[in-house]
Amino acid sequence: MVLVAAAFGVLQWAVVAADARLQESVGDRAGATVTSMAGVGSEAVSVLVFAGCALGSTRMAPGPLVASAAVPCPVVALAVWWEDRRRGR
């Protein structure tokens, strides 16, 4: 459970960091629209993840399924960190 909690924390950090960068990069007039569309995209990805978990549960036990779902979290965190290093932040 500690690894699942850590992966969830990393995911939440990545989401907050991405939202902050999005807010910095768009102008004041488009901010609400862009943020809203980003939210729609995020919800669409969530539905796809839930569908993947539903399909995966027919072939995998809960432990490996949750572990495999956590794999993208460190990948996203590494990508955000790499982009920060590239931009000198």
Q: Which residues of 4-19 are buried (b: 16+ CB within 10 A; e: fewer)?
A: eeebeebbeebeebbe
What average pLDDT does the segment 68-83 reach? 82
CA distance 54 to 59: 10
Please tell me which residue, 76 or 9, carries the higher pLDDT value. Answer: 9
pLDDT of residue 68 exceeding 90: no
CA distance 9 to 24: 23
Q: What would the pLDDT profile of 11-61 be if each residue is shown by its tens digit?
A: 788 788 888 888 888 877 887 888 889 889 989 998 998 999 899 999 999
Q: What is the domain partition of the chain in residue ranges?
A: 33-89
